[in-house]
């Protein structure tokens, strides 16, 4: 539902529909054999494709088809179900749970609470996407209540949502980010410490943090912000990688790295947002170590 909000100013050249966007200035890169480098990401991507984990999504109506297609394209198996009567049974087969509050109401809140409890009992990785936190009391309080219940392993949001959840002075404009990811870094760290989870602050650079570590992913293109659901897709991919990689920070970096590199590949074949969306699924499906090694730009700030 929410695009990652990558500002055009982060890129060397202005974007025109059908014209590839230049890579960010001064791209950073970790050695391919580092825990967050191309070799590690490719190994986790291979694990997803070999194990085909079931990712249970209690997600919003806007993005169900897109996120299901993205999970299929990367090699996982999606299920979209929110009826409380079947959650316990379905989660018995799941490798991860994704909670997304994009189209929120009382019924969905109850389903998310029950799903979280079942996942926590089974020690399943849980991804929370607090869409629009800060835009309304209902959204902010629901996201915080889910975090307070325990069991969330990855929190993925934009900068405004992170600031809102951390009690900072940020505000949201609908579901778009009005703050930079850099401004939300300390708030993200506070949330990671408070709730014992990895936190991803999405933006032109994706900041991935836990209690002690930080990794920045520099991949992606501005056109991704013109396709609804790309932020929610990133959260779903966090679930796929969380199912095979129990280091939550590594799983988060995997998802953002694959998301960004696939976006760059998709743009090369796209004429605009419509063809970009289709090309993105193709890029996820065909992504391999060679492209990750060639394109992946991640670093660990001092």
What is the H or E stretch that residue 202 is in? strand 198-202
Q: What is the pTM of this model?
A: 0.88
* pLDDT attached to residue 57: 98
Average pLDDT of the chain, as a whole number: 88
Q: How far apart are CA 163 and CA 213, in angstroms?
A: 19
Q: Convert the pLDDT of each residue in 148-174 to its tens digit.
A: 999 999 999 999 999 999 984 343 455
* pLDDT attached to residue 183: 77
Q: Convert the pLDDT of each residue in 4-46 to its tens digit.
A: 333 332 322 223 333 344 444 455 788 877 889 999 999 999 9
- Domains observed in the chain: 30-299 (3.40.1190.20)
Q: Convert the pLDDT of each residue in 35-76 to its tens digit.
A: 899 999 999 999 999 999 999 999 999 999 999 999 999 999
Average pLDDT over residues 168-186: 61
* pLDDT attached to residue 146: 97
89 band by pLDDT with thresholds 50, 70 and 90: very high
Q: How far apart are CA 293 and CA 274, in angstroms?
A: 28
**pLDDT at 239 > cutoff 90:** yes
Average pLDDT over residues 218-231: 94
The pairing of strands 77-80 and 126-129 is unpaired
Average pLDDT over residues 282-298: 97
Nearest to 57 by CA among 105, 96, 93: 96
Residue 34 tokens read as 């580092």
Q: How far apart are CA 265 and CA 286, in angstroms?
A: 10
């Amino acid at each position: 539902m929410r695009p990652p909000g990558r500002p055009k100013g982060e890129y060397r050249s202005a974007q025109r529909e059908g014209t590839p966007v230049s890579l960010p200035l001064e791209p950073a890169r970790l050695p391919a054999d580092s825990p967050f480098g191309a070799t590690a990401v490719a190994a986790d991507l291979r694990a997803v494709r070999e194990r085909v984990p079931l990712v249970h999504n209690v997600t919003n109506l806007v993005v169900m088809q897109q996120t299901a297609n993205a999970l299929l394209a990367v090699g996982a198996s999606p299920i979209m179900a929110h009826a409380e009567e079947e959650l316990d049974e379905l989660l018995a087969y799941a490798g991860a749970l994704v909670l997304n509050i994009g189209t929120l109401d009382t019924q969905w809140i109850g389903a998310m609470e029950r799903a979280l409890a079942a996942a926590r009992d089974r020690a399943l990785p849980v991804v929370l996407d607090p869409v629009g936190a800060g835009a309304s009391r209902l959204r902010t309080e629901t996201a915080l209540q889910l975090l307070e219940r325990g069991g969330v392993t990855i929190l993925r949001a934009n900068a405004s949502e992170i600031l809102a959840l951390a009690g900072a002075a940020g505000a949201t404009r609908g579901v778009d980010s009005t703050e930079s990811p850099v401004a939300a870094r300390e708030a993200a760290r506070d949330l990671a410490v408070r709730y014992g989870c990895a936190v991803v602050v999405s933006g032109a650079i994706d900041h991935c943090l836990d209690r002690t570590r930080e990794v920045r992913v520099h991949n992606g293109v501005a056109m991704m912000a013109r396709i609804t659901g790309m932020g929610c897709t990133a959260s779903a991919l966090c679930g796929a990688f969380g199912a095979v990689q129990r280091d939550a920070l590594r799983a988060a970096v995997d998802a953002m790295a694959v998301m960004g590199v696939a976006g760059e590949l998709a743009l090369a074949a796209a004429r605009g947002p419509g063809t970009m969306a289709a090309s993105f699924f193709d890029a996820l499906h065909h992504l391999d170590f060679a492209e990750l090694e060639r394109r992946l730009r991640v670093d660990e700030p001092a």
